[in-house]
Amino acid sequence: MMHMPRFYPHLLVVLLGLGLGSCKSTEKAVFRAVRSNNSVALGRLPQLEAVVEAGPLNMTEGAHPDDASKLFRQELSFHLAEAQPDTAKYGYAKLLVTQAQVQRTGRALQAFQMLTLMTPSLLGMPLEWYRTNVKAEVQIINAKGEVIGSYSGIGRSKVRVAMYHGYSQTKAARLSDVQALRLALDQIRPQLDADADTLRQQLATSGPLEEIIGQSAHSADSSAVN
C-alpha cells in the first residue's frame, strides 16, 4: 500500500497560505479601473439616487456584500451623474444583477504542483482560475417611479490563483466576481451615453424627488422602485 509522503500535508498548508505570498492588491485591481475609464463623456445625467439589488452576486463565495454597491456608486459618480453636492436628485439609477455563475478551472494543476514540491508555482505557474459570468441590468427611473430606460450587459472574467504572479484563492474569488460586474457595466455605459440627452430631458420633465415630511421620496416611494 502506498503511503502519503510526510511533506504532503504541509503542501496543503502552503496552498491555504497563498494569501501571504500574493503581493497583488485586490482593492486596487477592482476599483482603480473605474477611475481610469474615460470611454464616455462625464456628467451627462442629473443627480440620481443609486439603488442596488445584487441578488445572485451575494450568493457567491467571492464578492463582499457592499462590493456591488460601491462599484455602482463609483460608476455613477465618475461617468453618469453630475458631481455637485447638495443638488436635487431627479430619480433613481437601479442596478439589478440577474445572473452570477462562478467556475473554478485548472484545479488539476494543484496535484501537479504538490508532486513537484510547488516548484512550478515559484516560477509563475498558476494553481487554478476563477471565472465569473455576470448578467446585469441598469434601470433609469424618474421621480414618479416610472422606468424610462433599461440597459443590460454581460461580463466575463478570468482571474488566476498563483503564489507571486496572481492572487490568493480568497482574493481571486472576490476579484473575479467584481471584475465580471465591472465588465457588464462597461457594456451598459455606452448605451446610457447614447440615450443621455433623451433621459436628461425626461428626468427634468418629471422634476426632482420631493422632500416628504423631512424624508426624501426615496423612502416614501420605495415601493415604486422595488
φ, ψ dihedrals at 90, nearest 5°: -105, 15
What pLDDT is attached to residue 28? 67
The H-or-E segment that residue 110 falls in is: helix 108-115
What pLDDT is attached to residue 61? 86
For residue range 133-192, list pLDDT tens digits in order. 999 999 999 999 999 999 999 999 988 776 655 667 778 889 899 999 999 999 998 898
Contacts of 170 (CB under 8 A, 6+ apart): 19
What pLDDT is attached to residue 167? 65
What pLDDT is attached to residue 82? 64
> Is this prediction's pTM over 0.85?
no
Q: What is the mean pLDDT of each run of 10 residues along the chain (226 residues)?
A: 45 43 57 54 80 95 91 82 72 96 72 53 64 96 96 92 66 90 92 91 91 43 54
CA 101 to chain centre: 13
What pLDDT is attached to residue 187? 92
Please state, as a whole number, how many other Cβ atoms lie within 10 Å of the Cβ of residue 121. Answer: 25
Contacts of 32 (CB under 8 A, 6+ apart): none
What's the grid cell of residue 226? Answer: 422595488
What pLDDT is attached to residue 116? 53
Please give the Cα distance from 126 to 105 (Å, whole number).
Answer: 11
Please give the Cα distance from 145 to 92 (Å, whole number).
Answer: 8
φ, ψ dihedrals at 185, nearest 5°: -65, -30
What pLDDT is attached to residue 47? 87
List the domain boundaries for the chain.
21-100+135-153+170-206
Contacts of 74 (CB under 8 A, 6+ apart): 31, 34, 35
8 Å CB contact between 105 and 126: no
Give CA separation, 71 vs 136, 143, 220, in Å: 13, 23, 25
Report which residue type is found at 162: A
